[in-house]
Amino acid sequence: MTKPSFNDNWKQLDQRVRREDEDRWLSSRYAPLAERRRLIALYALNLELAKVRLVVSEPGLAAIRFQWWRDVAAEMAAGKRARGHDVVQALYEAELSPKLVTGLADGHEAALEAGNRNLEPETLLMRAAVGMLVKAHAWGAHIEALAPVYAAARRGDEDEYSPAVPMVPRAIRPAVAHAALRFEYGREKTPGPIRKRIVVMKAMGNGRV
């Protein structure tokens, strides 16, 4: 069997994120190609970690899966060759931080162990995505407020306080624009694909999330 090419690997990951995390995928479309690929690698990793909750029922087996990703991070830090896994390969190619990989794994594991999805590392995820676009910004406190509320709205959690945040700086909008969908999830459980695209496009234009 012929091994998929570099571009084929990215295309497959991109399609996976589009299928399983369309909100963030839509925002990422507005990033330059190099940054978009880094975002896709990040979101693909988050999907791998998030699905442990869905596919593993035994705590011991879940711990093994999360440890596997921590081992990947340790290998990345040591400069070892990537494992034969498409997401791992993307992490290497996108040069994601091993510390970030470990942090996301730890966050998802803590949430699973506590049975509390509010502990999932949504803030770390959005902060990392923003960091892929700019090195310095003044929006850190707003990410802390916005990321978990967006995630809760998407899950369908009710009675979540929805904070008002200032206009998103243009440079970081491809990592944040999807958060505008929090209002749509408040109105209906699953906004349609056309509505999602309109909301994200407007957020990219006016910076309002």
pLDDT tens-digit profile of 99-128? 999 999 999 999 999 999 999 999 999 999
Residue 178: inside a domain, yes or no? no
CA separation for the pair 197, 129 (Å, rounded): 19
What token pair was written down for 113? 């162990």
pLDDT of residue 158: 66
pLDDT of residue 75: 96
**pLDDT at 2 > cutoff 50:** no
Q: Give the rounded percent of residues in the chain with a pLDDT score beyond 70.
A: 95
CA separation for the pair 23, 6 (Å, rounded): 25
What token pair was written down for 37? 């690929």
What token pair was written down for 171? 């440079």
pLDDT of residue 84: 85
pLDDT of residue 77: 96
Residue 141: inside a domain, yes or no? yes
Residue 17: inside a domain, yes or no? yes
Residue 140: inside a domain, yes or no? yes
Within a 10 A sphere around the Cβ of 148, how many other Cβ atoms? Answer: 20
pLDDT, average across residues 4-14 = 77
CA separation for the pair 180, 187 (Å, rounded): 12
**How many structural domains are present in the chain?**
1
Residue 150: inside a domain, yes or no? yes
What confidence tens digit (pLDDT) does each residue in 51-100 have?
999 998 888 999 999 999 999 999 999 999 888 899 999 999 999 999 99
Residue 186: inside a domain, yes or no? no
**pLDDT at 145 > cutoff 80:** yes
Backbone CA torsion sign across 88, 94, 95, 96: negative
Q: Are 56 and 64 in contact (CB under 8 A)?
A: no
Helix 122-131, helix 33-50: angle, nearest 10: 160
Q: How confident is the model at residue 3 (pLDDT cuts 50, 70, 90)?
A: very low
For 84, the domain range is 6-156
Residue 197: inside a domain, yes or no? no
pLDDT of residue 1: 37
Q: How confident is the model at residue 4 (pLDDT cuts 50, 70, 90)?
A: very low
What confidence tens digit (pLDDT) does each residue in 155-204 have?
988 655 678 999 999 999 999 999 999 999 977 678 999 999 999 999 99
Residue 199: inside a domain, yes or no? no
What is the overall mean pLDDT for the chain? 92
pLDDT of residue 174: 98
